[in-house]
Amino acid sequence: MSFFAARQPILDANRNLFGYELLFRTSLDNVFPDVDEEKATSKMIEGLQLDLGLDRIASGKLAFINFTQKTLLGGYPLLLPNEKIVVEVLETAEPTKELYVRLRTLHAKGYIVALDDFVHDITWEAFYPLVKIIKVDYMLSSREEIEQTIKAAAKYPHIELLAEKVETHEEFEEAKKLGFKYFQGYFFARPEVIKSVALTPSQTTLTTLLNEISKPDVNTNKVTQLFELDVTLSFKLLRYAQSPMFKRRKAIENIRQAVVALGQKELERFIMLLFAAQFGEGKPGELIRMSMHRAKFCEVLASATKKIPDESSAFLAGMLSLIDAMLDADLNEIISSLPLSENIKKALLEKEGWLAEFLQVCVDFEKANWKEMEQGCTKLGVDYHALLSEYEQTLRWSEDRLDDIS
């Protein structure tokens, strides 16, 4: 049985990463194809313990995991470490005495319990002393339902509120004012206030570098000179060139040596990574990580499908897919101001071409749109069963590279 796990970020009020909700699917056919609920959950937990690894898939943060009433009564959360997970009680659960006893046991053993997609119901109030987090569907719940839940939770100071499906900055700010502490949704991946593009000196230098390094015949002298114009960029280049992953026998002593030693492809990748970090300054770290992950995942898809001759264009398209949110500017204005190929511009602005198809598969994976992802993989001719390991590897890659340039 193949398992896929997408993760959706949960941020605090300062837009710092708090945890991830893990969204599972067995194969891509049905949620539980020909397998009973308990066995499927058992297999998922086994996958977390052996194949996926909680630390890897959740990057060391708390992993929010959904449990049905049946799996809660079966004691399945106890198979996972209490310090690494949040036990989400699905909205389909019923407030029975048996469930209360089971949640009391989990609470006593140090597990964090959350109520998922919750609307206040007096029959659940007896459970509140055992609950740490209440998740509210901010999109589907009415304002009256939200206020009822807030009022009921206020009697229990230990309870923290989490707003799900927060998709705009206006909703984020509104939910903060209402007292929500955590936020799940892709509001942070959208521009806050559209403004004109005003690049910093480092951003301008990086844009010029990006243009130079993309040329068929790279002028090493010019690239070296551009790096030497910016002390910060020079320092990061030297540190990156001497990263243990390259296993260099001799130390790098100057900028030119670093440029030559890295070579065109690795230098191009490094500049793209710096580009994302510079343009994402002051933004949530998760936004930068997502752009890096999209870049690598699109590159992997390009390599696997052979649909385009240049994998680096897939990498760059993924990197730039969130640039409007990084700069709080109109995407068309940004893309028009950068030295990009027509294929990349078409993918980002018109959602057309193979690069756009790669990006869509990546976005569908992020949002656990399994059916759409399957359709996208079929169109690309990709074995979606192989995507899970690739997805994990690209997640690790993006986090490692973020460490390299931070």
Residue type at position 4: F
Structural domain boundaries of the chain?
3-189, 201-405
- Which tens digits make up the pLDDT trace of 279-292? 887 888 889 889 98
Rounded Cα gap, residues 82 and 387, in angstroms: 29
Amino acid 341: pLDDT: 86
Range with top average pLDDT, 111-125, 183-197, 212-226: 111-125
- Which tens digits make up the pLDDT trace of 94-136? 999 999 999 999 999 999 999 999 988 899 999 999 999 999 9
Confidence of residue 34 (pLDDT cuts 50, 70, 90): very low
Amino acid 28: pLDDT: 46
Within 4-95, residue ranges assigned H as helices are 37-46, 54-58, 69-73
Given CATH 1.10.8.80, say whether it is the number of domain 201-405: no
Least confident interval from 78-82, 131-135, 173-177: 78-82
Q: What is the mean pLDDT of the chain?
A: 86
Rounded Cα gap, residues 9 and 20, in angstroms: 5
Query: Could you tell me whether strands 17-26 and 3-12 are parallel, antiparallel, or unpaired per DSSP bridges?
Result: antiparallel
Mean pLDDT of the region 67-83: 91
Q: Which two tokens stand for residue 11?
A: 């941020």
Nearest to 48 by CA among 3, 114, 105: 3
Instruction: Assign domain 3-189 to its CATH architecture.
Output: Alpha-Beta Barrel (3.20)
Q: Give, for 304, the enclosing helix (H) or strand (E).
A: helix 285-305
